[in-house]
Structure 1
């Protein structure tokens, strides 16, 4: 599936095409109560997380693990990689690739759009995937993407591991102008986890993202920090994800 959006080059508008890769699905082993789209990090694909999520004691969740488009990445000097959006540097002043963010968030919403009406919906991810999960949370709160198109999914949970919040500086002002935003924010729980030893996405980015979301009105937010944890996940962190999802999605229970 591809999404296109306008960008300006040499004074004329051109379309960027986003060709998403293969999607992997972990079917629920028990009663299907929730569907969560899980997003991989930069340079990865849906297969690696599919293998891990399949082992989690969450029999009531269906996991959808898409693969990002392969595109030139500025931080790699234009070398192509699987990525949900382009990134030049990890800096608070770096410009956000709004077109890429919108395309990936729309892809996630599209994957959720065919789920049954009684199924709770969630988005989660690692690193750059976590950034898209948090961006999806803000689109849900605003009721629209940055390009103005309506955001269609009714999210019930968002998880971000070792990631950051795109467009953090402008979030508060945008939310203040949307009448329904406060109600949507109040209904959306968010779990953020970050390692203090992360040398790829520094811990301060996760911490600042947590504070930006809280100050914007996301009250049901848990921020878990892990001493010594680098840019990877560990069993203790995934245990936290399991218990948090079981609680917030009111799942009937974990299997061991």
Structure 2
């Protein structure tokens, strides 16, 4: 995993902390622009590596926006600073969530999508910590607000999470069930989760429990795909699944 300390781009200020987001890479559609998806990298990575992979997918109608997370101290790495969408100490059901960092990154992503044309379908995807941030954005969309109560402004049409987990899972169901509008939005949002059985970084059980939590919280339009022998990386078969999912769910023209 590579570390990036780029300080280009816009900053996010949430409460006491302020972090500068790194460089954003954009892959322009080769055909008719029908959808824009923000794709989020994993811990210690940057937007460039994923932009190169996404550029080669047979999805000419999608514009990809690949931002780079801020460089911040990460508790999981003993406080070592690297690019991270939020702070994380350990992966467990009982670990505290960095809602301040999550809200800051979710707001940055929403801001990237806010200038897209009105007729363009919008989505968020990601790998590992990027997947976790995408799923957190999905919960903000359903509730109509960030964790800090500020309104969530984007109408999301799809979410993709590869080798990730769901932050804020403990309280999600009660938050969604407390609002009829949140129940409606959760049920309407297509989510694709993919996870390798042999993932040694984000164990498979966290992908599985995230899927169960989302489903029980009202995200009924959810597909959970598992891959035998797959560790903490992606393979062509998985990316084919992503392509097929996006083409079908977003109604893209001539993408395959």
TM-score range, shorter chain: over 0.9
> 1: distance between equivalents of 2:224 and 2:254?
23
1:69 maps to which residue?
A: 70
> 2: distance between equivalents of 1:179 and 1:240?
32
Matches within 5 A, 1:78-227: 78-227=79-228
2:6 maps to which residue?
A: none
Off by >3 Å, runs of 4+ in structure 1: none
Shift of 1:179: 2.6
Q: CA RMSD in A?
A: 0.6
More deviation, 179-188/138-147: 179-188
2:254 maps to which residue?
A: 253
> 2: distance between equivalents of 1:23 and 1:47?
8
Matches within 5 A, 1:23-62: 23-62=24-63
Match of 1:4 among 9, 13, 17: 13
Give the secondary structure class of the aligned counterpart of 2:151: coil
Give the secondary structure class of the aligned counterpart of 1:180: helix
Once the two structures are superposed, residues 97-146 of structure 1 have per-residue CA deviations (whole angstroms, 9 ceiling, x without a partner) of 00000000000000000000000000000000000000000000000000
**Number of equivalences:** 247
Shift of 1:65: 0.1
2:18 maps to which residue?
A: 17
Once the two structures are superposed, residues 52-92 of structure 1 have per-residue CA deviations (whole angstroms, 9 ceiling, x without a partner) of 00000000000000000000000111110000000001111
> 1: distance between equivalents of 2:252 and 2:87?
36
1:11 maps to which residue?
A: none
1:241 maps to which residue?
A: 242
Shift of 1:156: 0.2
> 2: distance between equivalents of 1:109 and 1:57?
25
Question: Which 5+ residue runs of structure 2 have no aligned equivalent?
Answer: 1-9
> 2: distance between equivalents of 1:29 and 1:3?
31
Shift of 1:253: 2.2
1:10 maps to which residue?
A: none
Once the two structures are superposed, residues 151-208 of structure 1 have per-residue CA deviations (whole angstroms, 9 ceiling, x without a partner) of 0000000000000000001000011122311211122100000000000000000000
> 1: distance between equivalents of 2:180 and 2:213?
19
> 2: distance between equivalents of 1:210 and 1:186?
14
> 2: distance between equivalents of 1:95 and 1:76?
16
Shift of 1:4: 1.4
More deviation, 109-118/177-186: 177-186
> 1: distance between equivalents of 2:100 and 2:111?
16
> 2: distance between equivalents of 1:247 and 1:67?
28
